[in-house]
Amino acid sequence: MNYRILSDIPGRIRIAFFLPRFPAVDRGGMESQFREIPGTAKVSFSPRTGTLLVCHDGKEATRKAILEKGTAAPTPRTCRARPMTELARKKKIVVRSGALLLSRPLIPPLIQPLVAIWGALPIFKKGVKALLKKRLNVDVLDSSAIGAAMATREFLTASLITFLLKLGEYLEEWTRGESRRLLSDMFHMGQEWAWVVREGEEVHLPLEEVAVGDTVVVRMGGLIPVDGVVLAGEALVNQSSLTGESLPVARREGLSVYAGTAVEEGWLRIRALQVGDKTRTALVVKMIGEAEEVKAETQSKGEVMADRIVPWSFILSGLVFIVTGSAFRSASVLLVDYSCAIKLSTPLAILSSIARLARQGVLTKGGKYLERLARADAFVLDKTGTLTGATPGVSEVVSFNGFAKKFVLRQAACVEEHFPHPVATAIVRQAASEGLLHPEKHLQVEYVLAHGIASRLRGKRIIVGSRHFVHEDEGVDISAAEPYVYSFAERGDSVLYVAVGGKLAGLIAIHDPLREDARELVRGLKRMGIAKIVMLTGDNEATARTIAAQLGMDEFYAQTLPDEKVEVLRRLQSEGYMVAMVGDGINDSPALTRADVGISMSHGADINREVCDILLIKGNLGDILSTRVISQETMALIESNFRAIIAVNSAALLLAVTGVLPPIFSATIHNMSTILFGLRSLQPLRRQG
């Protein structure tokens, strides 16, 4: 028997196979063997745990057939050839170089120089390529140092230096891979195959062969391979990798599902709408991958300075040779280099922090945005949907000029239902709760950005929106509404004006309660020493003042349009502030673009997710504070690494100049310090929260 029974209840049996870790077992092949048994209803195999779940008709004969198949079943392997990774290639090079070094005593003396030259050829090639491109960099330094050792017939020294340089490259690649692996594991699909219905039958296909429109079947324990809509079935789906939700969500016919999420219970038949690199998961992975390329200003300056040091290393090496006449001291100087450690540790610190934030549900689009957030001393916060809960409700309806309250609410709901805005949803929901039907009797609806909605009803123009839109733009007399507006503002409610045929028909008071974490956000920012905290809102002056006072804002701006929000940011920047903007509405997108760092919520408008620099997947305001802390820790780590790199390499350079340090030890100190600083830069990955 090559398995053990984990659970065996009527109609359901789970068994664990004793399988070697490598090579991997083909999930589809294993499932297909048990699906052939008459009486089986559902089969699910997990290659990661080696467990198989079979749901059957409960008959003893079926159960025995499953156990017999478990005893005799072959374990199909994937034999798909995989290209050698860069890490595996460098590991192979290090092993080969080390083997040659260890077997050197067995190599005839006449051949040893040839072996040393052959081993150093890849390093010489890099140096020559750099010179052909007119670059004086670390590759030229390394090849020059090995060449100096060979010129003095120290071929053992040359071989040792070559081995250490190759070992250093391997360890650098491994260190980079540690940070990238976490990002990949968080979002990447864990499977390369999918069950697809073709001509009425389920077939097992590679993911690259799944096309838009295909019907994909996913069972319990499986990962959903496409973005799509559920055609049949019901399941609990774990979406934590994309949405940050800790609990699985129910998915049934008509609801959307996304690639990379997992079916915990049940099964689904899905019509594929996005496949391959077009899925939401793939786009998230791509965005995080691109973040590595968006360098922080500190990183760029450090790399430029490190490259500028290289020519001085050659000059110092030449001076040492002229003064001492020692090729050993000259070569030792060439092997001490600042740039490798700086160029490895700085991007690793940034990428590690990006990975840490992604683990917490915060997507950062580049290192420079972490740096700007660490330096930000002014925060501008949009009110609706950011400081408030994005789930407002209608608190009161007032009518004027002979219009009935139900008429006002019904017609407002009729035009608002066309737009997926929290306030619009609140009005539609209130109309439904009062049993008000609102059949389509208006003409085409026009949405005026940051103002409101306009249409025509029985030949009369109907408008729903802000005071600015209704009174100043449309010229409607709203004097009768002033007492009510003041009363609403006193309790912090927003106001929507409804006008029909040029007359004020009514007011709709919208109560949008402050989020529980809004006050803590403002208090936390003040504790961090933020010089200015500003609130922007489209509400009237009185409502804005009430909300700003409740939160303890330094400043607020009421009835702001998109261009006015941008102007507020521009003015703050002209005063010397580094500005962070937090918003989620369509009318916030210009301001998010203008800010030094734009922060948006995942529940906000699609365009904001595109233009923002930092995206809060979970939508927690507290994540702004933790992201700020992590960004400051990252910059402190980079600066600490930079100082230590300068100190260590300067000490090694001094020892090389004085002849205390031979070339082999120069190479050892240089490479080992580079790796140590690289590993130190992975600290953010080892921290929780």
**Phi, psi (deg, nearest 5) at residue 607:** -65, -30
Look at the block and give the residue holding tokens 């007399």.
477
Among 187, 212, 242, give the residue marking a domain's end.
187
Q: In this predicted structure, what is the pLDDT of residue 609?
A: 65
Residue 370 inside a domain? The answer is yes
Residues 635 and 353 sit within 8 Å (Cβ to Cβ): no
Query: Do 182 and 214 reside in the same domain of the chain?
Result: no
175 and 283, same domain (yes or no): no
Output the domain CATH number for residue 37: 3.30.1360
Give start and end residues of each alpha helix (H) in 214-338.
Answer: 240-243, 280-291, 297-324, 327-334
Q: Provide the CATH number for the domain around residue 560.
A: 3.40.50.1000
Query: What is the per-residue pLDDT for 86?
Result: 76
Report which secondary-structure segment, H or E, holds 535.
strand 532-536
139: annotated active-site residue: no
Burial 395-409, CB ≥16 within 10 A → b, else e: bbbbbbeebeeebbb
Please give the Cα distance from 425 to 420 (Å, whole number). 7
* Residues 518 and 567 placed together within one structural domain of the fold: yes
DSSP letters, 178-226, are HHHHHHHHHHS-S-SEEEEEETTEEEEEEGGG--TT-EEEE-TTPBP-S
Amino acid at 593: T
Burial 301-336 (b: 16+ CB within 10 A, else e): ebbeebbebbeebbebbeebbeeeeebbbbbbbbbb
Tell me which residue has tokens 């392997």: 77
Q: Are residues 502 and 419 in the same domain?
A: yes
Q: Whole-angstrom Cα distance, residue 47 to residue 193? A: 12
433 with 476, same domain: the answer is yes
Closest CA to 13 of 73, 77, 68: 68
Q: Look up the CATH number of the domain holding residue 496.
A: 3.40.1110.10
Does residue 354 sit within a domain? no
Say whether both 504 and 519 belong to one domain. Answer: no
Confirm if 571 and 553 have CB atoms less than 8 A apart.
no
Residue with tokens 């208006």: 442
CB atoms within 10 A of CB 486: 12
569 and 430 in a common domain? no
What pLDDT does residue 568 have? Answer: 93
**Domain for residue 655, yes or no?**
no
User: For 333, left (φ over 0), alpha (ψ -120 to 50), or beta?
Assistant: alpha
For residue 681, is it within any domain? Answer: no
- Is residue 586 one of the residues assigned to a domain? yes
If you ran DSSP here, which 8-state letter would residue 687 be given?
Answer: S
Residue type, 223: L
The CATH number covering residue 200 comes to 2.70.150.10
> Taking a C-beta distance cutoff of 8 angstroms, is the pair 269, 232 a contact?
yes
The set of residues, in sequence order, having a beta carbon less than 8 Å from that of 211 and lying 6+ positions away, is 272, 275
**Is residue 333 in some structural domain?**
no
Shared domain for 465 and 507, answered yes or no, is yes
**Residue whose C-alpha is closest to residue 313's, from 683, 652, 678, 689:** 652
pLDDT at 245: 54
Nearest to 285 by CA among 199, 181, 390: 181
At residue 65, the 3 state secondary structure works out as helix
Tokens matching residue 542? 């009185």
| DSSP assignments along 106-159, one per residue | GS-TTTHHHHHHHHHHHHHHHHHHHHHTT---HHHHHHHHHHHHHHTT-HHHHH
Q: Is residue 161 domain-shared with residue 223, that is, in the same domain?
A: no
How far is it between the farthest Cα atoms of the chain? 110
pLDDT at 81: 45
CA distance 555 to 562: 18
Last residue of some domain: 164, 187, 210? Answer: 187
**Quick check: is 603 in a domain?**
yes
- The pLDDT, as a whole number, for residue 76 is 52
Overall domain count for the chain? 5
Q: State whether 503 and 530 are in the same domain.
A: no
Write the CA distances from 147 to 327, 538, 668, integer angstroms.
11, 70, 17
Q: What is the pLDDT at residue 79?
A: 43
**Is residue 500 one of the residues assigned to a domain?**
yes
**Which pair of structure tokens corresponds to residue 654?**
């001094």
Please report the pLDDT score of residue 398 as a whole number. Answer: 94
Domain of 518 in residue numbering reads as: 362-388+514-617
Below-70 pLDDT ranges, the chain: 1, 20-26, 28, 48, 72-84, 168, 171-172, 175-192, 240-247, 277-278, 280-307, 337, 339, 390, 420-421, 438-443, 449-450, 585-586, 602-610, 663-664, 667, 685-689
Question: What local confidence, expressed as pLDDT, does residue 262 receive?
Answer: 79
Residue 384 and residue 520 in one domain:
yes
Residue of 142, 227, 382, 588 marked catalytic: 382
Dihedral angle, C-alpha 559, 562, 563, 565, nearest 10 °: 70
Task: Tell which of 158, 187, 216 closes a domain.
Answer: 187
User: Are 57 and 95 in a shared domain?
Assistant: no
